[in-house]
Amino acid sequence: MVNICVWIASGLMALKLICVLTIVNIPPLHLVVYFLLTTFMLVSYAGTAFILPSFPVSVLEDEGDNNNNDEQEARYCEKCDRIKPDAYHHCSVCSRCVSHMDHHCPWTGNCVGLRTKKLFLLFLFYTSLSCLWFAYCVTFQQLGPTGNFLWFTVVLATLIGWLLFGYFWFHIYLLAVGRTTLDFMAHRPGNSDGFRRNLETYFGLNWWAYWIPVVPASLWQERMPLVDSSA
């Protein structure tokens, strides 16, 4: 199922690109904006699909052997047969525990977690803008003999664009109240850290880099405690 979703997503991206290339009278500035949005979309997608969403538990166990005192009682994941650090959740699809797991995305074939949540949100944002900008560019052009096919693509891109734009803001809402998709589905309350603190957790401290589809440097040096002493 996951592989099918990935192929569908890739096919839709390719379809939109082919349609743009078949129209020769789109203004150059419009094309530049489209290709910038599409490039950011593709980079965000690749990062969401291929970047490890968090440090493996085994790495943190090694850190924990040196950093945690023996009096702390560790949580244990029976499925991984390993200690489960605080804020980790087991993904049954990936068969591993993921830090700050939001959900497993079938469209990217990877988990949305601590490192990949920013990239996932930017993927939603840039995909929606790319689709809507594509629809805008094509709508006012003389489409010629391939008009019916292009109009179908415009309608499809518009629907996808608005759906993903709404989904993007849904995730911004979850971020603001400190909840994940798993929390939302299980009707669990969020944290009380506030929107800015939650945003910095995934996006880092450099606000100017929030729109760039790269993982914040601090998340490559993740050091999560193995246990919460209050757990």
- As a whole number, mean pLDDT of residues 187-191 equals 87
CA 194 from chain centre, in angstroms, equals 21
Residue 89, strand partner residues: 98
Please give the C-alpha separations between residue 116 and each of 46, 99, 127, 163, 214, in angstroms, as whole numbers: 10, 10, 16, 21, 9
* Any domain includes 231: no
State the Rg of the chain over Cα. 21
Q: Which of 81-90, 154-163, 171-180, 196-205 has the lowest mean pLDDT?
A: 81-90
Which member of 19, 97, 105, 131 is catalytic? 105
Question: Mean pLDDT in the chain?
Answer: 82
* Any domain includes 90: no
Please give the C-alpha separations between residue 61 and each of 130, 168, 223, in angstroms, as whole numbers: 42, 34, 11
Q: Which of 55-59, 113-117, 186-190, 206-210 has the lowest mean pLDDT?
A: 55-59
* Any domain includes 9: yes
Count of domains for the chain = 1
Q: Which of 45-49, 140-144, 148-152 has the lowest mean pLDDT?
A: 140-144
- The answer on pLDDT for 29 being more than 70 is yes
105 catalytic? Reply is yes
Confidence of residue 13 (pLDDT cuts 50, 70, 90): confident
- The domain of 24 spans 2-54+108-219
